[in-house]
Amino acid sequence: MTARILDGNALAAQVREDIAQQAAALIAQGVQPCLAVILVGDNPASAVYVRNKVAACEKAGFRSLKFDYPADVSPEVVLAKIDELNRDPLVHGILVQLPLPKQFNEEEVLEAISPAKDVDGFHAENFGLLLQGRKSFYPCTPWGVMKMLEVGGVSLKGAEAVVIGRSNIVGKPMAVMLLSQGATVTVCHSQTRDLAFHTKRADIVVAAVGKPKFVTGDMIKPGATVIDVGINRLPDGKLCGDVDFESAKEVAGLITPVPGGVGPMTITMLLSNTLESARRAAAHFQSTP
């Protein structure tokens, strides 16, 4: 059996088209969605991510602002910029590209962003709302995965889901989102004793580990849905996921590729959150006498 491939590029293009139309309608009302991106240092991967985010904004008709700082910038300078952007009514989303250099306390920086402009969904307030099943800005990567599962027609109610990885930005929110849709969720991590025991009985496996080709076909239940969040650079410069695509696609029923899977959906959900923030700002503006 060869798995059906869930094409993240195609889905992202479709959703972004819809976002661009909604942005145009908002612009006609006098509100242009605006995302401000802060990049510190010269990490090449971060620079590529930021470039892609800015380009996606512009393609959707959003305004984007980019602030570059050298690696040795003092945290106070960046915190002052965040404060300024928090107070700017024309800015709807603020994103600080991670990782930050070691003089920064990432938690402090993320918490400095107003929850109302936290379009990455990393602020503790938004994470708390997500945990309680209330409306918030959802973290973009796991939310993109949820969209992919929906479009792929994957039934979540009662499904056994295994999330590999427990980071605050992917694994934990992913587990909460799957749980909220009725899946029975197991979170595996670096101290899990027998990973394959868990993955082999899962209807859905989400891999967010950061280790190339870590999940192999023999760890997957025949017909399962396999979502690969990983982005790893191989010595030959090519990108690969956390799943060994070649062996896994022979066993899975549905699988996402890398590249062209979850990655494009992450940026799409960032646009979606920024649009939503702009819409809230427009509604607030209209209701203010």
Residues within the interface to ligand NAD (CB under 6 A): 141, 164-167, 169-171, 188-190, 192, 195, 208-210, 229-232, 262-263, 266
Q: How far is CA 15 from CA 147, 166, 183, in A?
A: 10, 28, 25
Q: Are 10 and 266 in contact (CB under 8 A)?
A: no
Name the residue with the smallest CB distance to ligand NAD: 167
Can 172 be counted among the known catalytic residues? no
Q: Are 158 and 182 in contact (CB under 8 A)?
A: yes
| Cα gap 138→268, rounded to integer Å | 12
- Nearer to ligand NAD (CB atom), residue 35 or residue 262: 262
- Nearer to ligand NAD (CB atom), residue 85 or residue 209: 209
- Nearer to ligand NAD (CB atom), residue 105 or residue 190: 190
| Cα gap 91→40, rounded to integer Å | 19
To ligand NAD, the closest distance from the beta carbon of 60 in angstroms equals 17
Rg (CA), the chain: 19
- Nearer to ligand NAD (CB atom), residue 32 or residue 52: 52
Can 97 be counted among the known catalytic residues? yes
To ligand NAD, the closest distance from the beta carbon of 89 in angstroms equals 30
Nearest to 220 by CA among 195, 188, 193: 195
To ligand NAD, the closest distance from the beta carbon of 168 in angstroms equals 8
| Cα gap 141→123, rounded to integer Å | 15
**Which position has the token pair 């300024």?**
84
Nearest to 152 by CA among 5, 261, 12: 5
To ligand NAD, the closest distance from the beta carbon of 258 in angstroms equals 8
Can 66 be counted among the known catalytic residues? no
Q: Are 185 and 178 in contact (CB under 8 A)?
A: yes
- Nearer to ligand NAD (CB atom), residue 188 or residue 255: 188
Active-site entry in 22, 81, 97, 242 = 97
To ligand NAD, the closest distance from the beta carbon of 256 in angstroms equals 9
To ligand NAD, the closest distance from the beta carbon of 208 in angstroms equals 4
Angle at 197 between CA 194 and CA 203, to 5 degrees: 135
* CA torsion through residues 220, 224, 230, 231, sign: positive
- Nearer to ligand NAD (CB atom), residue 114 or residue 167: 167
Kindly give the pairing relationship between strand 239-240 and strand 232-233: antiparallel
Q: Which two tokens stand for residue 24?
A: 């145009």
Active site residues: 53, 97, 120
